[in-house]
């Protein structure tokens, strides 16, 4: 039976960068969509785009394509976005899948969930870049894609784009705690992911906020979409299946 997956990218990424993963899921007979969120599209005003606009762009995508009964997957920052969309339209979602993604409580912003050194770093970059933030290459190389060789790290870094910092600083408004939402929930954790330091981990610190959830783990860094897309696709399907 074919399932429908919507893969929501993280900060600095686009939907196109999720396509290598999507191709492996499609090869198993499923339908996969990879939208690019507002704020990460060519020509988007990074200074004016916040979490609300990004989430609304995903909600609009689902409505325009009449998508329902979906497996909604969010990576990293994408966890903030799918959390808001799940609050807005829970009837369209069969299961939420958080892939090393942020799981907020009502009133929290993404920066509330990160270590202080990231907030200091991005505050400074945004102040100098008109409200857009770029990830410095040394951080990308060592903390985000630590399972890649130098050539892949450099090639993938060249595909990233400036990200609207307001999406990190705007608090989310949730009518219902995520743990109380009616759909299934899964957390997909890469064991070598140190984009969040292991002293402030993705799992179980954030995953447990989902209440009852399925845990799926695999080897790899924060950027498995570049380093091991087939492995990631397999694990996404484990996380998304009934």
d(CA 7, CA 35): 7
The structure's pTM equals: 0.98
Q: Does pLDDT of 24 surpass 90?
A: yes
The whole-number pLDDT of residue 148 equals: 98
What pLDDT shows up at residue 239? 99
The DSSP annotation for 181-238 comes to: SSSEEEEEEETT--SS-TTS-STTTTGGGGSS-EEEEES--TTHHHH-HHHHHHHHHH
Whether the per-residue pLDDT at 168 is higher than 90: the answer is: yes
Closest to 83 in 3D by CA, of 11, 163, 175: 175
Distance CA 216, CA 107 (A): 28
Closest CA to 223 of 162, 139, 131: 139
Q: Can you tell me the mean pLDDT for 159-167? A: 98
| Residue 27: partners with Cβ closer than 8 Å, 6 or more residues away | none
Tens of pLDDT along 185-198? 999 999 999 999 99
Calculate mean pLDDT across residues 205-233: 98
Total count of domains within the chain: 1
Say whether pLDDT at 114 is over 90: yes
Please state, rounded to an integer, the average pLDDT across all residues of the chain: 98
Which domain, by its residues, includes 105?
4-240
Residue at token pair 């198993």: 28
- Strands 4-8, 31-33: parallel, antiparallel or unpaired by DSSP? parallel
How would you label 80-116 residue by residue, b for 16+ Cβ within 10 Å and e otherwise? Answer: bbbbbbbbbeeebbebbbbbbbbbbeeebbbbebbee
pLDDT tens by residue, 25-73: 999 999 999 999 999 999 999 999 999 999 999 999 999 999 999 999 9
Structure tokens at 14: 């686009």
Q: HSE on the CB side for 76, CA within 13 Å?
A: 20
Helix (H) or strand (E) run with residue 93 in it: strand 93-99
CATH of the domain at 9: 3.40.50.1820
Secondary element (H or E) of residue 22:
helix 19-26
pLDDT, residue 79, reads: 99
pLDDT at 1: 82
Q: What percent of the chain is modeled with pLDDT above 90? A: 100
């Amino acid at each position: 039976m074919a399932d429908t997956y919507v893969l929501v990218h993280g900060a600095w990424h686009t939907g196109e960068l999720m396509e290598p993963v999507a191709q492996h899921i499609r090869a198993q007979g499923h339908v996969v969509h990879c939208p690019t969120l507002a704020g990460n599209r060519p020509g988007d005003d990074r200074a004016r785009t916040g979490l609300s606009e990004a989430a609304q762009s995903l909600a609009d995508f689902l409505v325009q394509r009449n998508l329902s009964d979906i497996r909604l997957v969010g990576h990293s920052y994408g966890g903030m976005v799918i959390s808001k969309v799940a609050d807005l339209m829970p009837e369209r979602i069969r299961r939420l899948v958080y892939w090393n993604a942020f799981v907020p409580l009502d009133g929290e912003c993404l920066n509330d969930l990160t270590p202080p050194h990231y907030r200091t770093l991005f505050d400074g970059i945004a102040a100098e870049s008109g409200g857009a933030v770029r990830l410095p290459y040394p951080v990308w190389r060592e903390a985000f894609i630590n399972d890649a060789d130098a050539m892949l790290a450099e090639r993938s870094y060249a595909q990233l784009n400036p990200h609207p910092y307001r999406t990190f600083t705007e608090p989310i408004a949730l009518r219902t705690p995520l743990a109380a939402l009616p759909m299934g929930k899964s957390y997909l954790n890469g064991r070598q992911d140190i984009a969040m330091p292991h002293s402030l981990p993705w799992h179980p610190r954030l995953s447990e906020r989902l209440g009852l959830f399925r845990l799926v783990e695999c080897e790899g860094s924060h950027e498995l979409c570049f380093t091991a897309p087939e492995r990631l696709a397999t694990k996404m399907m484990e996380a998304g299946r009934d």
